[in-house]
Amino acid sequence: MKRKIHSSKWPSSTILTTSTNSSSSPSSNTTLNDNGDQHQRYRCHNNRHYVQYNRNKLKTKIILTNSKTIGSSSYSSMLIMLLIVWFTINLINTNNNGIECTNKVTEPGDILLGGLFPIHQKGLNSTHCGPINKDRGIQRLEAMLFAIDKINRDPTLLGNIKLGAIILDTCSSDTYALNQSLEFIRASINTVEASAFECVDGSMPRSKYGWKHITGVVGGSYSEVSLQVANLLRLFKIPQVSYASTGTSLSDKSRYDFFARTVPPDTYQALALVDLVQLFNWSYVSLVSSEGQYGDSGMTAFLREAKKRSICIAMNEKVPQNADGAYFKSILQNLRTKPNARGVVLFLRAEDNRGLLEAAMQLNYSKYFSFIASDGWGKQDKLVLGVEEVAEGTITVELTTTGITEFDDYFGNLTQEHSRRNPWFREYWRDTFGCRLGDDYNPNHSLPYCDPSLRMNRHTGYVQESKVQFVVDAVYSFAYALNDAWKDLCQPNDGYCRRLKELDGENFYKNYLLNVSFIDLAGSEMKFDKHGDGLGRYNIFNFQRSPGTQQYYYKRVGEWSDSGLKLHMDQLFFGRTSDEHEDIMSVVTDSTGHERIIRIPQSICSKPCKVGQIKIIQQGDRCCWICTPCRPYEYVFNESLCVDCGEGRWPYPDKQSCYDLDLRYMKWDSLFSIIPIIISVVGMFLTAFTMLVFVRFSETPIVRATGRELSFILMCGLFVCFLNTFLLIAKPNIFTCALQRFGIGFGFAMMYAALLTKTNRIARIFDKARKTANRPSLISPRSQCFITLGLVMVQVFGTLVWFFLEPPGVRKYYPDGKRSEVILKCKVRDSTFLLSLVYNMLLITTCTLYAVKTRKIPENFNESKFIGFTMYTTCIIWLAFVPIYFGTGNNFEVQITTLSISISLSAYVTLFCLFFPRIYIILFHPEKNIRKLTMNSATYKKASSSVPTTSSNHEHVKLTVSEGDNKVYAATTSTTTTGSCVQSVMTSALVSVAAIELGGSSTIIPGGGNGGGVGVIANIQQSTIGGTSAAGGGGGNGTNGLTMINDIDDDDDNETADFVVNNSGGNSGPSTKASMASTIITETIGIGRPQQLKHSIVAHHSQSSTTETVAQDVQDGKNNVSLTSL
């Protein structure tokens, strides 16, 4: 009969078969080999696998022809082959009674837990162990025994089920630990279902060798040990809980699906170390790690997190297994090649930390480095013994633990008799107290016997090891998980029931072990996360020397959890460094509220760049850089890139982002605006006042003589010039910019076109008068207005073309390219603006030339001189303005103020020079606002003989009019001595005086015959060119007359005559002639319609009876003819 047997200890794909017989005697299934040994064979259902063992010699052979039934991975196949080697060669040695010779702790119980502890340090090779590891080995082993004892005494856990253990030594080696762990799977390989057999008497068979199934394993300590063991145990679904392995890769449940731990992974520890480095502002550190899972995983996690926080690694050194002192010295010497990296992070195992400190002591490197160490250093006193000077100031990280007081009591009560339970306790006791036990197999006769009263306590150097709490938590995790399973699967009084025995390891791990949660013996919460890891909590210690002593100790200075780092900076001491002047002095507040200064070593390759600077990374070393400032208008996009903010934007002071610059333009309340506004407002007021005066007194001679029409055009131009100041100061926009460009040129054009028209008319009149008596064309006021308008329209047309070529608008201007300020200006270039004024400059230049040309005209035409003075001053203003305007192009306020004032000054010059003298006469001297000649004396002298003559028998008389210190030369007159020519001379001369007083010129045309008439053509002019006057001579003896003088007031009204003197019918004779002469003289000088002469001219020699006598007096200059002031 064939029966299938499914073993829960084998993978489900492995099915064993066996043949049974009702007879108790060996059947065909039981055979003898050549030596007579009896074998029991269990053949697999597929007839391809069989298990065969020798009952006498316990040699088991497993033949696998298809490894996929055991494990799907090549690594699983390798482990199975390792089992084959172990079973077929010599991994365990047994005698015929099944007693093992290998040292181990065996604690009997219904349910067994395995235990792996580093009782000894690593030996020279994988088959030998080193010295005993007193704290990490013995204390942790005893913690497991302590926990088992306490659980077995607790009635609330597991009922009456007793918990036992098998504890092995790993010798701190992964290969040795894997070798030892095969002990845990022996029962899984050799045990089959008991129901497959029965004894002759019907009872259940029992194993001769007492192999029992291991429910779970506590351990190992080092991560590389746990990795190897976990790979083995997972094949047999045996759960494993480590108390010290922190390797990050063990959290990978796809590979280590039966592994858990009561400590957190190195990921958390790496975070704590990075937080410490960052808190000290270290950006350039070295890293030293142990070869193996612990160091590799810690280093990887630290590097990953350091990269996120821009912490650079200067050197990354790795310590191989079994490294000697020379190797540690070479590591330290390599670290010294990066002197700026004074911070060194250590991810080393305890023995490697010790080796590094001893090498630093030998090299006298105690002041060159500041160490931050992982829990591989923790707070172990033995590690720093004898090398305290080098270790001083080290910051260490240790898992947060709370001492278990009950364990201290338990360990303190252990005696040398305890060696019967713990086979390594004898060695520990001997090494701790320096004595030997009485039953030592290899006694050292130099050592005394141990005193039975010796105990472990603080006086003998006992300190609870940091991982004791986590060992106890691991044992209790199994206990609570088994307790939950027992409650679910068994009855209260069943004890270790069959269902619990048959509980699958995978079910137990996932549904019970990972779900435990309890308060441990230290009062801390214990539970696993979804990866089977413990909670991440660490204490931060600082190795310091007690003040005033040579004693050193670990001072707790902070803590770390997933909520962050809490560090008491005031309690830190880093020890003395070689470059204390480079240390950072920090002011901190201690727990009492007092401030104190602590010294923190610097660990940077290059000092952090200042605000607004970027890093130029040195080739081959990204951790060192040269700081280069960004341009003023750039912001720091990242640590190595500056980015332009863009036009109109500027970086904030921190150079991290940009903001829009405030647009700058002329403000109404600015001093640069107030000054030109005041000047302009005063000018507008004065211009308006002038216009009002001219309107009010428009019919007075002096206003009429100025040429009213052109004067009003000129004043409008002045008003526009003053208005331009407001356009220039106003905030630029399309409208104001267009008005600026139009208004400036238009105002100037109105001013200078009117002045040019005036000066041109004066020049043409004088030129024409010297050549002919005909009246020049286009000199009437109406004609002059059209000429002025035409000149202005040229400017308007040019401005319109300018608008078309360069449409008005606004632009943002950045002075000197600095871009720190944005000036809102009209969209016109300075060169274009000046080019638009070329036409006005042409008007000014032409007007100036005319002013120069007419500078020597008679005094009565002194308006030309005022125009000339105006032009000269205007040229000076604009010659000064142009360099100032271009020289202040970067200061828009000065530029606009200069332009505004220059325009206003040009208008002021015209206003003061041309209008204010007339305003002064009109308002303050109205008596002069009449048509008369005002002078002190007039003397008529004989002209020089050099004066050209008109005929051989004519004399030329030059008339000189004196008024104060000024002399004006009248036109040369020609006379004839025929008939009553003396009268003609006198009359013509005096008419010339009258004409000069009115600003004109006269030409005397002699009459003919005795008593002939006098011909006079007088061009009378005040401020503008007026009409012409003509006088015709009378005929006949005793008849003489000045018939008509036309339009002397320049109003173009063509009146018949302003005055008419017609003395006719006089009798001939000297007296009559003299009387006639006097009359004509009187009427000629006293010009005026309503005004009558109040005085007469008194002539010396008036008693002369003949005209010739008077004439002769004039010719000879013997006697003067004086005119009394009117």
Segment (H or E) for 388: helix 388-391
> Is 107 in a helix, a strand, or coil?
strand
Cα gap 605→313, rounded to integer Å: 10
> Looking at residue 515, what is its pLDDT?
94
The half-sphere exposure of 650 on its side-chain side, counting CA atoms within 13 A, is: 11
Which range, 195-209, 748-762, 989-1003, has the best average confidence (pLDDT)?
748-762
Assigned architecture for domain 266-398+536-571: 3-Layer(aba) Sandwich (3.40)
C-beta separation of 600 from 341 below 8 A: no
Residues carrying CATH 1.20.1070.10, the chain: 671-811+841-928
Place of tokens 């009782």: 119
pLDDT tens digits, 776-795: 676 677 877 888 888 888 88
pLDDT at 970 over 50: no
Q: Helix 863-887 to helix 892-910 angle, to the nearest 10 degrees?
A: 180
pLDDT at 195: 52
The pLDDT value recorded for residue 514 is 94
Average pLDDT, the chain: 71
pLDDT band at residue 206 using 50, 70 and 90 as cut-offs: low
Q: What share of the chain is helix, strand, coil (3-state, %, to 5)?
A: 40, 20, 40
CA distances from 370 to 284, 307, 350, 381, 395 (A): 12, 21, 18, 19, 8
Q: 6-48 pLDDT, tens per residue?
A: 333 333 333 333 333 333 333 333 333 443 333 343 333 333 3
Element spanning 579, H or E: none
| In the predicted structure, residue 903 carries a pLDDT above the cut 90 | no
* Comparison of pLDDT for 196 and 131, the residue scoring more: 131
Give start-end residues of each CATH 2.10.50.30 domain in the chain.
613-660
| Neighbouring C-alpha atoms within 13 Å toward the C-beta of 163 | 31
Confidence class of residue 585 from pLDDT cuts 50, 70 and 90? low
Q: Does position 750 have pLDDT exceeding 60, yes or no?
A: yes
Residues 994, 1084 contacting (CB under 8 angstroms): yes
Is residue 1081 scored above 60 in pLDDT?
A: no
Instruction: State the pLDDT at residue 526.
Output: 92
At residue 305, the pLDDT reads: 92
Q: How many CB atoms lie within 10 A of CB 163?
A: 23
> How high is the pLDDT of residue 889?
62
Structural element, H or E, at residue 589:
strand 584-589
What DSSP element (H or E) covers 509? helix 505-511
User: What confidence score (pLDDT) does residue 815 get?
Assistant: 76
301 closest CA partner among 351, 250, 352, 335: 250
Residue 551 pLDDT exceeds 70: yes
Measure the CA–CA gap between 829 and 1062, rounded to whole angstroms.
70
Please report, rounded to a whole number, the percentage of residues in the chain having pLDDT higher than 90. Answer: 21
Least confident range from 313-327, 434-448, 620-634, 1014-1028: namely 1014-1028
Return d(Cα 692, Cα 813) in angstroms, integer. 43
Residue 681: predicted pLDDT: 92
| The predicted structure's pLDDT at residue 71 | 39
Over range 193-221, report the average pLDDT: 69
Does the pLDDT value for residue 876 go beyond 70? yes
Q: Is 1071 helix (H, G, I), strand (E, B) or coil?
A: helix
Asked if 263 and 471 touch (Cβ cutoff 8 Å), the reply is: no
Separation CA 670–CA 1051 (nearest Å) = 48
Percent of the chain with pLDDT over 70: 65
Q: How far apart are the first and last CA of the chain?
A: 173
Q: CA nearest 720: which of 752, 756, 697?
A: 752
CATH of range 671-811+841-928; options 1.10.510.10, 3.40.50.11030, 1.20.1070.10, 3.10.310.10:
1.20.1070.10
What is the reported pLDDT for 261?
A: 94
Range list for CATH 3.40.50.2300 in the chain: 102-187+210-263+467-535, 266-398+536-571
* pLDDT at residue 715 greater than cutoff 80: yes
Helices and strands, number each (H, E), in the chain: 29, 44
Q: Is residue 33 classed as helix, strand or coil in its secondary structure?
A: coil
3-state SS record for 1106-1119: CHHHHHHHHHHCCC
Kindly tell me if the per-residue pLDDT of 53 is higher than 80: no
Residue 679 has pLDDT above 60, yes or no: yes
Mean pLDDT over 213-225 rounds to 91
- Supply the pLDDT for residue 444: 52
**Looking at this protein, which amino acid is placed at residue 603?**
S
Residue 690 CB neighbours (<10 A): 20
* Beta bridge partner(s), residue 1019: 1001, 1028
Homologous superfamily of 613-660 in CATH? GPCR, family 3, nine cysteines domain (2.10.50.30)
**Distance between CA 1044 and CA 1004 in Å, rounded?**
14
The sign of the CA dihedral 502, 506, 507, 509 is: positive
Q: In the predicted model, is pLDDT for residue 637 greater than 80? A: yes
Question: What's domain 102-187+210-263+467-535's superfamily in CATH?
Answer: Response regulator (3.40.50.2300)
Q: Is the pLDDT of residue 468 over 90?
A: yes
Q: Which of 125, 243, 120 is nearest to 171 (CA)?
A: 120
Least-confidence region, from 58-67, 214-223, 291-300: 58-67
Q: How confident is the model at residue 242 (pLDDT cuts 50, 70, 90)?
A: very high
Is the pLDDT at 65 greater than 60? The verdict is no
Q: What is the mean pLDDT of residues 960-966?
A: 35
Q: Who has greater pLDDT, 840 or 650?
A: 650
Q: What is the pLDDT of residues 945-956, one digit of tens each?
A: 333 333 333 333
Q: Is the pLDDT of residue 1023 over 60?
A: no
Residue 176, pLDDT above cutoff 50 = yes
- What pLDDT does residue 968 have? 31
- E strand or H helix at 923: helix 916-924
